[in-house]
Structure 1
Amino acid sequence: MRFPLTFFATAAAAVTFATASFAGDQYIDPTGFAVSGYDVVAYFDLEQSPVGAEQPVAVPGNKDITADYNGAVFAFSTEANRDRFVANPAAYAPQYDGHCAYGVAKGGKVPGNPNLWRIVDDKLYLNITKNVVGFWEEDIDGNLDLSEGNWVSIEPAAASDREIPQFSSTAPVN
Protein backbone atom coordinates (compact mmCIF):
# COMPACT_ATOMS: atom_id res chain seq x y z
CA MET A 1 0.00 0.00 0.00
CA ARG A 2 1.38 3.40 -0.94
CA PHE A 3 0.78 6.52 1.12
CA PRO A 4 0.88 10.01 -0.37
CA LEU A 5 3.66 12.34 0.79
CA THR A 6 1.07 14.54 2.54
CA PHE A 7 0.20 11.59 4.79
CA PHE A 8 3.77 11.42 6.11
CA ALA A 9 4.01 15.21 6.51
CA THR A 10 0.73 15.25 8.46
CA ALA A 11 1.83 12.32 10.64
CA ALA A 12 5.19 13.97 11.37
CA ALA A 13 3.48 17.23 12.30
CA ALA A 14 1.05 15.42 14.60
CA VAL A 15 3.91 13.66 16.41
CA THR A 16 5.83 16.94 16.74
CA PHE A 17 2.86 18.83 18.16
CA ALA A 18 1.90 15.99 20.49
CA THR A 19 5.43 15.75 21.84
CA ALA A 20 5.73 19.52 22.30
CA SER A 21 2.46 19.73 24.22
CA PHE A 22 3.76 17.27 26.81
CA ALA A 23 7.22 18.81 27.24
CA GLY A 24 7.83 20.67 30.47
CA ASP A 25 10.07 23.69 30.81
CA GLN A 26 13.81 23.09 30.64
CA TYR A 27 15.68 24.24 33.76
CA ILE A 28 17.67 27.38 32.93
CA ASP A 29 19.91 29.08 35.48
CA PRO A 30 21.18 32.70 35.36
CA THR A 31 23.64 31.80 32.56
CA GLY A 32 20.62 31.70 30.22
CA PHE A 33 21.65 28.29 28.88
CA ALA A 34 20.27 24.82 29.48
CA VAL A 35 22.58 22.71 31.70
CA SER A 36 24.33 25.93 32.74
CA GLY A 37 26.01 26.12 29.33
CA TYR A 38 27.78 22.76 29.52
CA ASP A 39 28.04 20.53 26.45
CA VAL A 40 25.49 17.72 26.90
CA VAL A 41 26.99 15.63 24.09
CA ALA A 42 30.45 15.71 25.71
CA TYR A 43 29.15 13.79 28.77
CA PHE A 44 28.74 10.74 26.55
CA ASP A 45 32.42 10.92 25.57
CA LEU A 46 33.74 11.17 29.16
CA GLU A 47 34.80 8.07 31.04
CA GLN A 48 32.21 7.61 33.74
CA SER A 49 33.41 6.96 37.30
CA PRO A 50 32.06 4.05 39.34
CA VAL A 51 29.06 4.63 41.61
CA GLY A 52 30.25 6.39 44.76
CA ALA A 53 33.14 8.18 43.03
CA GLU A 54 33.14 11.74 41.75
CA GLN A 55 32.49 12.10 38.04
CA PRO A 56 34.86 13.91 35.64
CA VAL A 57 34.19 17.63 35.35
CA ALA A 58 31.63 18.56 32.70
CA VAL A 59 32.88 20.16 29.46
CA PRO A 60 31.94 23.84 29.06
CA GLY A 61 30.12 24.80 25.90
CA ASN A 62 30.91 27.75 23.64
CA LYS A 63 28.35 30.56 23.54
CA ASP A 64 28.85 30.80 19.78
CA ILE A 65 28.05 27.12 19.11
CA THR A 66 24.43 26.55 20.12
CA ALA A 67 21.19 24.80 19.27
CA ASP A 68 17.64 25.27 20.52
CA TYR A 69 15.64 22.43 22.01
CA ASN A 70 12.68 22.21 24.38
CA GLY A 71 12.46 26.00 24.59
CA ALA A 72 16.09 26.40 25.68
CA VAL A 73 19.49 27.19 24.22
CA PHE A 74 22.12 24.46 24.58
CA ALA A 75 25.82 25.32 24.14
CA PHE A 76 28.46 22.95 22.72
CA SER A 77 32.24 22.76 22.84
CA THR A 78 32.49 21.83 19.15
CA GLU A 79 30.41 22.10 16.02
CA ALA A 80 30.59 18.31 15.70
CA ASN A 81 28.91 17.94 19.11
CA ARG A 82 26.24 20.46 18.14
CA ASP A 83 25.59 18.49 14.95
CA ARG A 84 25.28 15.22 16.92
CA PHE A 85 22.78 16.93 19.22
CA VAL A 86 20.73 18.44 16.40
CA ALA A 87 20.49 15.02 14.75
CA ASN A 88 18.89 13.52 17.91
CA PRO A 89 18.43 16.01 20.78
CA ALA A 90 16.39 13.65 22.94
CA ALA A 91 19.36 11.27 23.07
CA TYR A 92 21.58 13.90 24.69
CA ALA A 93 19.36 16.31 26.63
CA PRO A 94 19.30 15.57 30.35
CA GLN A 95 16.34 13.67 31.69
CA TYR A 96 13.61 15.52 33.57
CA ASP A 97 14.30 18.73 31.63
CA GLY A 98 17.60 19.21 33.48
CA HIS A 99 16.07 18.91 36.96
CA CYS A 100 17.60 16.80 39.72
CA ALA A 101 16.82 13.10 39.24
CA TYR A 102 16.58 12.48 43.00
CA GLY A 103 14.34 15.53 43.42
CA VAL A 104 11.98 14.08 40.83
CA ALA A 105 12.08 10.73 42.67
CA LYS A 106 10.93 12.64 45.76
CA GLY A 107 8.15 14.37 43.79
CA GLY A 108 9.50 17.83 42.94
CA LYS A 109 11.49 19.93 40.53
CA VAL A 110 14.79 21.30 41.81
CA PRO A 111 17.81 22.30 39.70
CA GLY A 112 20.29 19.79 38.37
CA ASN A 113 23.99 20.57 38.82
CA PRO A 114 25.88 19.86 35.56
CA ASN A 115 28.92 18.64 37.50
CA LEU A 116 26.89 16.01 39.38
CA TRP A 117 25.94 13.69 36.60
CA ARG A 118 25.60 10.04 35.68
CA ILE A 119 24.64 8.24 32.50
CA VAL A 120 22.34 5.26 33.04
CA ASP A 121 21.04 3.23 30.09
CA ASP A 122 22.33 5.89 27.68
CA LYS A 123 20.42 8.69 29.43
CA LEU A 124 21.96 11.70 31.19
CA TYR A 125 20.82 12.40 34.75
CA LEU A 126 21.79 15.37 36.94
CA ASN A 127 21.52 15.83 40.71
CA ILE A 128 21.55 18.97 42.85
CA THR A 129 24.24 18.41 45.54
CA LYS A 130 26.94 15.88 46.42
CA ASN A 131 24.84 14.66 49.37
CA VAL A 132 21.91 14.04 47.06
CA VAL A 133 24.14 12.10 44.66
CA GLY A 134 24.89 9.72 47.55
CA PHE A 135 21.18 9.16 48.27
CA TRP A 136 20.39 8.72 44.57
CA GLU A 137 23.25 6.26 44.03
CA GLU A 138 22.19 4.09 46.99
CA ASP A 139 19.40 2.76 44.76
CA ILE A 140 19.63 4.16 41.23
CA ASP A 141 17.13 1.68 39.76
CA GLY A 142 14.59 2.23 42.54
CA ASN A 143 14.99 5.99 42.37
CA LEU A 144 14.55 5.93 38.59
CA ASP A 145 11.35 3.91 39.00
CA LEU A 146 10.06 6.55 41.42
CA SER A 147 11.20 9.38 39.13
CA GLU A 148 9.48 7.92 36.09
CA GLY A 149 6.25 7.49 38.04
CA ASN A 150 6.40 11.03 39.47
CA TRP A 151 7.49 12.74 36.26
CA VAL A 152 4.15 12.18 34.55
CA SER A 153 2.38 14.42 37.07
CA ILE A 154 5.11 17.02 37.71
CA GLU A 155 6.45 17.51 34.17
CA PRO A 156 3.77 20.07 33.21
CA ALA A 157 4.65 22.22 36.26
CA ALA A 158 6.88 25.22 35.65
CA ALA A 159 10.63 24.71 35.72
CA SER A 160 12.40 25.29 39.00
CA ASP A 161 13.33 28.91 39.58
CA ARG A 162 15.93 28.07 42.24
CA GLU A 163 19.65 28.48 41.75
CA ILE A 164 21.95 25.51 42.08
CA PRO A 165 23.47 25.57 45.60
CA GLN A 166 27.23 26.11 45.88
CA PHE A 167 27.70 26.20 42.12
CA SER A 168 29.29 28.65 39.76
CA SER A 169 29.46 27.86 36.09
CA THR A 170 32.66 28.05 34.08
CA ALA A 171 30.62 27.63 30.91
CA PRO A 172 29.64 30.53 28.63
CA VAL A 173 27.37 33.35 29.73
CA ASN A 174 25.28 35.67 27.60
Structure 2
Amino acid sequence: MKHLGLTCLCIAAAWTVPAAAGEVNTGYFGSVAIEGYDPVAYFTEKRAVKGSEKFQSEWLGATWQFSSDKNRKLFDASPIDYAPQYGGLCSEGVAYNEVTVNIEPEVWQIIDGKLYLSAGAGFEDLAANRPKAEANWPTVHAELVK
Protein backbone atom coordinates (compact mmCIF):
# COMPACT_ATOMS: atom_id res chain seq x y z
CA MET A 1 0.00 0.00 0.00
CA LYS A 2 1.33 3.43 -0.86
CA HIS A 3 0.98 6.22 1.65
CA LEU A 4 1.63 9.84 2.54
CA GLY A 5 4.39 11.61 4.38
CA LEU A 6 5.67 14.83 5.96
CA THR A 7 8.80 15.53 7.91
CA CYS A 8 10.74 18.55 9.02
CA LEU A 9 13.69 19.37 11.20
CA CYS A 10 12.43 22.92 11.70
CA ILE A 11 8.77 22.50 12.49
CA ALA A 12 7.08 19.34 13.65
CA ALA A 13 4.57 18.14 16.22
CA ALA A 14 2.49 15.25 17.39
CA TRP A 15 -1.08 14.37 16.92
CA THR A 16 -0.79 11.54 19.36
CA VAL A 17 -1.13 14.40 21.81
CA PRO A 18 -2.41 17.76 20.53
CA ALA A 19 0.45 20.01 19.51
CA ALA A 20 0.90 23.73 19.88
CA ALA A 21 0.69 26.16 16.98
CA GLY A 22 3.61 26.24 14.57
CA GLU A 23 4.56 22.59 15.08
CA VAL A 24 3.48 21.02 11.79
CA ASN A 25 6.05 19.63 9.41
CA THR A 26 6.04 21.68 6.24
CA GLY A 27 9.46 20.67 4.97
CA TYR A 28 12.32 23.09 4.57
CA PHE A 29 10.40 25.65 2.54
CA GLY A 30 6.92 27.17 2.76
CA SER A 31 4.13 26.57 5.20
CA VAL A 32 1.99 23.92 3.47
CA ALA A 33 1.47 20.65 5.34
CA ILE A 34 1.88 17.27 3.61
CA GLU A 35 3.32 18.96 0.52
CA GLY A 36 -0.19 20.09 -0.33
CA TYR A 37 -1.84 16.66 -0.20
CA ASP A 38 -5.37 16.34 1.18
CA PRO A 39 -5.23 14.69 4.64
CA VAL A 40 -8.92 13.75 4.52
CA ALA A 41 -8.61 11.89 1.20
CA TYR A 42 -6.35 9.28 2.78
CA PHE A 43 -9.35 8.23 4.85
CA THR A 44 -12.23 8.83 2.45
CA GLU A 45 -10.65 7.84 -0.88
CA LYS A 46 -7.98 5.48 0.47
CA ARG A 47 -5.35 7.16 -1.69
CA ALA A 48 -3.05 10.17 -1.77
CA VAL A 49 -4.81 13.09 -3.48
CA LYS A 50 -3.22 16.46 -4.20
CA GLY A 51 -5.08 19.34 -2.59
CA SER A 52 -5.80 22.73 -4.13
CA GLU A 53 -5.07 26.31 -3.11
CA LYS A 54 -8.80 26.83 -3.72
CA PHE A 55 -9.63 24.76 -0.62
CA GLN A 56 -7.34 25.66 2.29
CA SER A 57 -7.42 25.90 6.07
CA GLU A 58 -4.94 27.12 8.65
CA TRP A 59 -4.25 24.89 11.63
CA LEU A 60 -1.31 24.72 14.03
CA GLY A 61 0.59 27.34 12.07
CA ALA A 62 0.44 25.45 8.76
CA THR A 63 -1.69 25.68 5.64
CA TRP A 64 -3.61 22.51 4.84
CA GLN A 65 -4.91 21.96 1.32
CA PHE A 66 -7.87 19.84 0.24
CA SER A 67 -9.24 18.42 -2.97
CA SER A 68 -12.78 19.61 -2.19
CA ASP A 69 -14.70 21.98 0.05
CA LYS A 70 -16.36 18.94 1.64
CA ASN A 71 -12.96 17.59 2.75
CA ARG A 72 -11.94 21.02 4.04
CA LYS A 73 -15.09 21.16 6.17
CA LEU A 74 -14.51 17.64 7.53
CA PHE A 75 -10.97 18.61 8.53
CA ASP A 76 -12.04 21.92 10.08
CA ALA A 77 -14.64 20.11 12.20
CA SER A 78 -12.05 17.73 13.67
CA PRO A 79 -8.47 18.20 12.44
CA ILE A 80 -7.02 15.81 15.00
CA ASP A 81 -8.94 12.98 13.30
CA TYR A 82 -7.22 13.55 9.95
CA ALA A 83 -3.80 15.04 10.69
CA PRO A 84 -0.82 12.69 10.45
CA GLN A 85 0.79 11.35 13.58
CA TYR A 86 4.11 12.70 14.88
CA GLY A 87 3.51 16.10 13.34
CA GLY A 88 3.84 14.62 9.88
CA LEU A 89 7.36 13.32 10.38
CA CYS A 90 8.38 9.97 8.91
CA SER A 91 6.92 7.46 11.35
CA GLU A 92 9.69 4.94 10.79
CA GLY A 93 12.26 7.67 11.46
CA VAL A 94 10.60 8.51 14.77
CA ALA A 95 10.81 4.81 15.69
CA TYR A 96 14.60 5.15 15.39
CA ASN A 97 14.86 8.60 17.04
CA GLU A 98 15.43 10.25 13.66
CA VAL A 99 13.95 13.39 12.15
CA THR A 100 13.40 12.77 8.46
CA VAL A 101 12.81 16.13 6.81
CA ASN A 102 11.76 15.04 3.33
CA ILE A 103 8.73 12.78 3.14
CA GLU A 104 6.92 11.06 0.29
CA PRO A 105 3.20 11.99 0.40
CA GLU A 106 2.26 8.85 -1.52
CA VAL A 107 3.84 6.54 1.07
CA TRP A 108 1.43 6.26 3.96
CA GLN A 109 -0.59 3.92 6.18
CA ILE A 110 -3.70 4.16 8.29
CA ILE A 111 -3.41 2.03 11.42
CA ASP A 112 -6.12 2.00 14.08
CA GLY A 113 -7.75 5.03 12.44
CA LYS A 114 -4.57 7.18 12.48
CA LEU A 115 -2.56 8.44 9.50
CA TYR A 116 1.17 7.68 9.41
CA LEU A 117 3.54 9.12 6.81
CA SER A 118 6.89 7.91 5.53
CA ALA A 119 9.97 9.10 3.71
CA GLY A 120 9.90 6.03 1.48
CA ALA A 121 10.81 2.35 1.47
CA GLY A 122 10.67 0.10 4.52
CA PHE A 123 7.32 1.39 5.68
CA GLU A 124 5.80 -2.07 5.89
CA ASP A 125 7.51 -2.44 9.29
CA LEU A 126 5.54 0.41 10.85
CA ALA A 127 3.02 -1.77 12.65
CA ALA A 128 5.87 -3.61 14.39
CA ASN A 129 7.84 -0.41 15.02
CA ARG A 130 4.94 1.73 16.19
CA PRO A 131 5.53 0.98 19.90
CA LYS A 132 9.12 2.25 19.49
CA ALA A 133 7.87 5.37 17.69
CA GLU A 134 5.34 6.03 20.46
CA ALA A 135 8.05 5.65 23.09
CA ASN A 136 10.52 7.86 21.19
CA TRP A 137 8.07 10.60 20.19
CA PRO A 138 8.34 12.69 23.39
CA THR A 139 12.13 12.88 23.00
CA VAL A 140 12.01 13.60 19.25
CA HIS A 141 9.28 16.19 19.75
CA ALA A 142 11.22 17.93 22.55
CA GLU A 143 14.24 18.26 20.26
CA LEU A 144 12.11 19.76 17.50
CA VAL A 145 10.46 22.45 19.59
CA LYS A 146 13.64 23.69 21.30
TM-score band by shorter chain is: 0.7 to 0.9
Give the one of 136, 142, 145 matched to 1:156: 142
Choose between structure 1 and 2 for higher RCO, CA contacts under 8 A separated by at least 6 residues.
Answer: 2
Aligned pairs, number? 127
> Which one has a larger percent helix, Structure 1 or Structure 2?
1
Percent identity reads 36
Question: What's the secondary structure of 1:155's corresponding residue?
Answer: helix
Aligned to 1:120: 111
2:128 counterpart of 1:142: yes
Q: For residue 24 of structure 1, report the CA deviation from its aligned partner.
A: 7.3
Q: Deviations over 1:13-66 (max 9, x none)?
A: xxxxx9555x7721113353100000000010234xxxxxxxx4x101011211
Q: CA deviation at 1:113?
A: 1.6
Give 1:158 deviation, angstroms. 2.6
Give the secondary structure class of the aligned counterpart of 2:139: helix
Report if aligned partners of 2:111, 2:127 keep a CA contact under 8 Å in 1.
no
Number of the residue aligned with 1:3: none
Residue 39 of structure 1 aligns with an amino acid whose one-letter code is D
Match of 2:9 in 1: none
Q: TM-score, normalised by structure 2?
A: 0.78
1:27 match: 25
Q: Which residue of 2 aligns with 1:72?
A: 62
Give the whole-Å Cα distance in 2 for the aligned partners of 1:71 and 1:84: 19
Q: TM-score, with normalisation over the residues of structure 1?
A: 0.66
In the alignment, the residues of structure 2 paired with residue 132 and residue 125 of structure 1 have an alpha-carbon distance, to the nearest angstrom, of 13
Query: Superposition RMSD on alpha carbons, in Å?
Result: 2.1
Match of 2:95 in 1: 105
Q: What displacement does 1:68 show?
A: 1.3
In structure 1, stretches of 5+ residues that fail to align are 1-17, 48-55, 160-174
Q: How many Å separate the matches in 2 of 1:46 and 1:34?
A: 19
**Structure 2 Cα separation of the partners of residues 72 and 157 of structure 1:** 19
Residue 156 of structure 1, CA deviation? 2.7
Task: Describe the SS at the equivalent of 1:85.
Answer: helix
SS of 1:157's partner is helix
Q: Any unmatched runs of 5+ in structure 2?
A: 1-16
Asked if structure 1 preserves the Cα contact closer than 8 Å seen for 2:22 and 2:62, the reply is no
